[in-house]
Structure formats: C-alpha cells, structure tokens
Amino acid sequence: MATGTTDSTDQAGPSGAPGPGGVRFDDITATRRPPGPRLPTAVQTLLFGSFRHRWLPRLRARYGDVVRLRIYPNRSVVQLADLEHIRAVFGGSPALMHAGEGNAILKPLMGPHSVLLTDENEHRRTRRLLMPAFNGAALRGYREMMTDLAEREVRRWPASRPIRAHERMQALTLEIILRVVFGVAEGARLDELRTLLRRVVDVGPLDMIGWYNRTLQRIGPWRRYTRQARRVDELLYAEIAERRAAADVADRGDVLSRLLTASRTAAADGEAEPLSDAELRDQLVTLLLAGHETTATALAWALHELAADPARLARARRAADESDETYLEAVAKESLRLHPVVAEVARRVTRDIEIGGYRIPAGHTVMPSIALVHADAGHHPDPTRFSPERFLDSGPATGTWFPFGGGARRCLGAGFSLLESTIVLRAVLSHHHLTPGRRRAEGTKARNITLVPAHGVRLVPTPRHTG
C-alpha cells in the first residue's frame, strides 16, 4: 500500500545549497518566520476546524505559499502550497519529518500505537505487519466480497424516492471494512460495534476539543461521547481475546487474524515483540474508522457530481455496463481531486529547516495542502470542473494529486479504497439512473479532520431495469 520515497534522503543541495523550491534541511541561513494571521489561537482554531476549506485559500492569496498558523492544542503549523516545497517534505527523511507527531490530534481517538501516530522504527514495524492485508493478492481476495455487499446495498434502494447518498455509502463501506478486519460482520458484539462506530466518527470541531479536556469529558455531549468510545474499546478487547484463543487463527484471512499470526511469527523468529492487546486495539480502530469514512465521502461526492452532469453520468453508466474499470476509477480519482476528504497532511519537523526562504523551527508542523494543490489551475486546468477524463491516459503531472499523502507515509489503504470505489460505482450505475434530490448545489462542511457534503448528497435513484 505504500509507494513513493524511502526512509533515507534529506533534500538539501550539495554543501548546504538550497534544494528544490528553495528548501534547506541543513546549514540553515534564513532568520525570518513565515507570515500569517495574528488572530488569537482560539479564533484560528475555530476557523481552521470549521471553515478551513474557505479560510485557507484566502490565507494563501494574502500571504503566499508558506503561511504560519496557531492551532489548539499548542501547535505552530506552517501551511505549504508550493509543489516543490511539498515534494521536498515528502522526500525528506522520516527521522526529520515525523508524520506520527504531525497527526497527534488523532491520538485520543486512534490510540498511541496507531500506524498513523507512530514514527521511525515503531512505524516501520507496524506498517510491515499491516502491509500483507493490503497487497495485490489480498485486494484480489476482497473483490468478490466487495461486489456482493455493493450489489446487496443498491438493490435495497427505494425506487424514485430520495436517499442521502452519504449515509448509504457510510453504511456500505463500514460493512466492507468490518468483514475485512474481522472476517465476519454478524453477531451481537459486531452489531453493537457497528452502531457505536457510526456515532464515534460523527464528531465536529467542538467535540474534538473534549478529547483534550478531562473536565469537558464529564459533562453533556462530551461525557456521552467518552462513554461510547470506551464501550468500543471493551468490544474490541473482547474480540481480540476471543481471536487469540481461536485454534484456526493462522488459517483465517481477515486483518485481525493476519496481525496475530504475523506478530507471533515475528516474535518466534526473534524479530520483534508480539503485539499487545493495546497495540492491536489501536490498529483496529484506525482501520475501522479511516477505512470506511473517507471512501464513503469520496463516493458520495462522485455520485453527486455524476447526478448533476447528465453527459458524464451517461459515460459512467456505459463504463459500468462494459466493466470499464479504468473510467470508473477515473471518476473516483476526480472526486478525490475536486472534493478532497482530508484537506492536508502533516509532518512535525524534528530540527530546524528552511523552506522558501523562511526558517521553520524544530517542533513546528509543516502541512502540505492537498486541497490547495488540487484546486490550483496551474496543475489542473479549469479546476472547479468535474472531469474524470483528466485521469485517463497519462493523467495529471506527478505529485499534483495526492489524496492519500505521499512519500514513505503514503496511505496503506490507497489501493483498497480505489478498488472499493470502482466496484461500488459499477454496482450503483448498473442498477440506477441518478438525479439530484435538491435544487441547490451541495455545500461542504468540516467534520472532525474530514470535509464532507453538508446536506448528505440527496439523490433520487430510478431503477434502470424493471421486471
């Protein structure tokens, strides 16, 4: 699931000369800090948390490609929008660019051992254990299950009555990831887990403040959220204990069984300590939450754009009928370009660096902006237009599309997500004609670290075939 750069090189030029895009990782000469707004931290946090899709482009227009922000809790963040700066960050040594620390905001939810929150040796160990569940052979094994669940879902849609596509895609992708992680999705424990996961992921910026404030966790909605998150942990630990005791765990192909088997093998060979229950819990939560929410949102946006464009809907429907997965994948990719679910990635720098003539001190977080690069007309002509054709033939220039991040930390689930999206789009379009369910254009709102359709993408599906 990981492609891109290795764990080795820094990107400074020889003898400390500037690297690509005016980037120095050694022999820092700059003394200026990046420019940025002087608003109080609380105000910047609110703007970033709730309105970043509108606020950050304005900051770039005012201050340029390198902008400093102050975000709660105690984060000095530097937004990057220049492609060469971003390439240098992705190509930098993981010892210098700590993605795990950059994602620290997720720690209360994902847990300290999550593959998203670890760095260097611990991250490499965890990633190595997870990779077999998402390689090419594993993906081929998931195809039939994904197809069956997608077909079952779309056949249940009411004829010629509005649905909220985002909700339906969330339900479907959750079913898929439950089966991938646990091998099954039946039973009282998983029924309860399914319900709770939907509630845990449905948080806004104010909810996230409670993650860091124990006082808030004892009152109102924060107390309810904390109780639900703890119940998720109880269910996961029960599932882990049951799976550890299973006699056939080595013969199962689900992620939990694969992790247990790989961990035992590595421990027996003296390569690593076996995974603890807490480590397993953190990986499972990460996969369950990150493995369904982002894909569901991307699919909802794709259906929204197709319903609003009859010509492209017809082209995509023909692709579904002809099993043209190249075009359907292009639809999914263009959805992720036009509506990035995660607007940025983060790396905490472990020592001073220089980017664009500015000094970025150790401890600051650099934030390559997916959204700003994807919306840049210099990289994607007519960037506000939905055009899957961009991704046919050679596609956009390398590095101008990175919804799954980049470098050594590129998302393990990229291939899984694109395969899932292609299969689901084919199922939907094979069975239904789509029309918009509301006259006004769908807006965007921030929810936790993601950007989602503000009104859930209301669509009217009409069966293509009757009888």
pLDDT of residue 193: 92
Question: What are the pLDDT tens digits along the chain (467 aa)?
Answer: 333 333 333 344 433 445 556 898 988 999 999 999 999 999 999 999 899 999 999 999 999 999 999 998 778 999 999 999 999 999 999 999 999 999 988 888 899 999 999 999 999 999 988 998 999 999 999 999 999 999 999 999 999 999 999 999 999 999 999 999 999 878 899 999 999 988 887 776 666 666 667 777 777 777 888 888 899 999 999 999 999 999 999 999 899 998 999 888 877 878 778 889 999 999 999 999 888 999 999 999 999 999 999 999 999 999 999 999 999 999 999 999 999 999 999 999 999 999 999 999 999 999 999 999 999 999 999 999 999 999 998 889 999 999 999 999 999 999 999 999 999 999 999 999 999 998 888 999 998 789 999 999 999 999 997 54
Edge to edge, the sheet with strand 365-368 lists 66-71, 75-80, 365-368, 347-349, 97-98
pLDDT of residue 204: 65
**Tokens 């936790």 sit on residue:** 448
pLDDT of residue 205: 66
pLDDT of residue 253: 87
Residue-range domains of the chain with CATH: 14-463 (1.10.630.10)
pLDDT of residue 20: 54
pLDDT of residue 440: 86
pLDDT of residue 88: 95
List the structure tokens of 398: 């390398």
DSSP string, 421-465: HHHHHHHHHHHEEEEESSSSPP-EEEETTEEEETT--EEEEEES-
pLDDT of residue 2: 36
pLDDT of residue 105: 85
What is the CA 228 to chain-centroid distance, rounded?
A: 23
DSSP string, 189-229: HHHHHHHHHHHHH---HHHHHGGG-TTGGGSHHHHHHHHHH
